[in-house]
Amino acid sequence: MIKSSKEYMTKRIRSKFLYLFGFIIFLVFLGFNVNFSFAKLYKGVPSMLDLISRILRPNLSYSIDVFEKLTETIQIAIISSILGVILALPFSLFVSDNIAPNRYLAGILNGIFSFFRTIPSLIWAALLVSIFSIGRFSGIIALTIIGFLISIRLFREYIESIKENQLNSIRAIGANSIQILRYCILPYIFELSISIFFIVLETNIRSATILGLVGAGGIGQIMWRDLNHLRYDNLATIILVLFLTILLIDFLSLYIRRYLKHSSIKFKSMAGYKRFQIIKIIFIPMFLIGLIYLAFKSLGIDYKRLILGLNQGKNIVVRMIKIDMNYFPKLIEGIGESFFIAIFATIIGGLLSLLFSYLTAYNTSPNKTISVFFKGIINISRTFPPLITAIIFFRGVGPGPLAGAMALSIYTTGVLTKMYSEVLENTKENVKDSILVTGATNFQAYRHGLLPHTFSTFISLLLYRLESNIRNSAILGVIGAGGIGTILAMNITWRNWEKVGLLLLGVSIMIIIIDRLSQYLRNKFS
């Protein structure tokens, strides 16, 4: 029992020091498992700065070649996003708990989709290249799978958010299941489909830029070629064009989604409204059929090659099912390395984002100039996939988990800072003002007011990033930056499908466990 305020304060300070000491020990443990070394980083700085300086001198005459591949990259992303969203529309009706015709079927489908969702896009692309050979077809199918899985999850969440009393009110007037779909569910998800398309497109644009690393088409092919030939001036041009393209698509996507959210169609008469409904019923199916036709026409594969690939795929799947358990020790080693890379990057990125969010958010930054400057820096750091950043660290510290951990830390810092600074900017001013009126500084208002008030949201964002980092850490090994991706890419190249089956199963189980743990912790903190 605490007898005095002095004893209370002493105990509180002691607890803080113990927590801080335990946290430092944990960081040292993580650093040891990703081979972190200040000396290695320091020695690698000259090589990294040399690479960055060469990257900062773009070969602008190379832009014509870049734009040709950039067009293919954007085409891959758009086609796969269209196909993914359209295919997800009917399936979403079978997996949503509140409207599913069969709960057992919904559970089985959700389990299958959750398993496939754990496989990163680059791994899908590498597998499909082995089945259908190199080219954009493999890239389109890989991103269609990713787009489908993202879309079906979003559609399901939106459908399940429809209140039960809304459905019951329609059932109460004698409506059957078809009528409920026609008048309650379908209009709702058709309105959402455009927003979901742009969410999927943003994801697929970033993914499409690296698919060429495994031969699945797009700008990644010339990026990998220029890296191998040490043409960093060409690489600089690619990075510059990618940055501007992704930035433009992000802004366009944000503008269209906001416009659709706040826009509405106004009718002058009931007759005009009825005409619109008839046109919509005719136009939407025709529009969807047209999109599917154009998308399939753009796949770039003939019937003979498709059938041959499907037969090869069947043989590969049969071999992957016969998993090689003798490879289990390698699986554990690879999973452990990927896990520690993800945890290290999440914690380091989280700590740095707390500082950078203070400097980035308009309502906490010392002045607007600093805020605008850091917003620009953060947008640059989060625009490029961590694989590109890993290449720079790879040059400085060599192959291994350290390059992957540092690259993922920078990417995590950028993404978390962007998300958390927006949370701070949307927080009510009275939270900050209640601290400022006591004579506190701007930073003290952030430290003792805004941060405690929004900390549960920050933890939720941090846990979401952990889920994403687990997936990202699984593919960094494709370029030798540590984790299970190294042995996974190696075995895909060598066609050791029994070992690939075991590795994919292990990756999926790890990601599913982290997802469930993350979901549990988010619910606890919310």
**CB-side neighbour CA atoms (13 Å) of 64:** 1
Question: Whole-angstrom Cα distance, residue 483 to residue 334?
Answer: 5
User: pLDDT tens track of the chain, all 526 residues?
Assistant: 555 666 666 777 777 788 888 888 888 888 888 888 888 888 888 888 887 777 777 777 777 778 878 888 888 888 899 889 888 888 888 887 777 778 888 888 888 888 888 888 888 888 888 888 878 888 988 999 999 998 888 888 777 776 666 666 666 666 666 666 666 666 677 767 777 888 888 788 878 888 887 888 888 778 777 777 777 778 778 877 877 777 787 777 767 766 666 665 565 666 666 666 667 667 767 766 776 677 667 666 777 877 888 888 888 888 888 888 888 888 888 888 888 988 999 999 999 999 898 888 888 888 888 888 888 888 777 766 787 788 788 878 887 888 888 988 998 998 898 888 888 888 877 777 777 777 777 778 888 788 888 888 888 888 888 878 888 887 777 777 777 878 888 888 888 889 888 888 888 888 888 877 777 776 666 6
Question: Whole-angstrom Cα distance, residue 120 to residue 8?
Answer: 50
Question: Whole-angstrom Cα distance, residue 473 to residue 485?
Answer: 8
Amino acid in the structure at residue 49: L
User: All domains of the chain, ordered by start, with CATH?
Assistant: 57-263 (1.10.3720.10), 322-525 (1.10.3720.10)
Question: Whole-angstrom Cα distance, residue 222 to residue 47?
Answer: 23
Tokens representing 258 are 């906001």
> Residue for token digits 């960094």?
476
Decide: 388 and 476 in contact? Cβ < 8 Å. no
CA nearest neighbour of 95 among 84, 106, 108, 83: 106
Q: Is 132 exposed, middle or buried (0-12, 13-18, 19+ CB in 10 A)?
A: buried
Backbone angles phi, psi at 98, to 5 degrees: -80, -10
Other Cβ atoms within 10 Å of 113 Cβ, number: 17
CA nearest neighbour of 368 among 378, 381, 377, 359: 359
Tokens representing 354 are 């707390």
What is the structure's pLDDT at 439? 77
> Residue for token digits 């007898």?
3
Q: Where are the alpha helices (DSSP H) in 426-450?
A: 429-436, 442-445
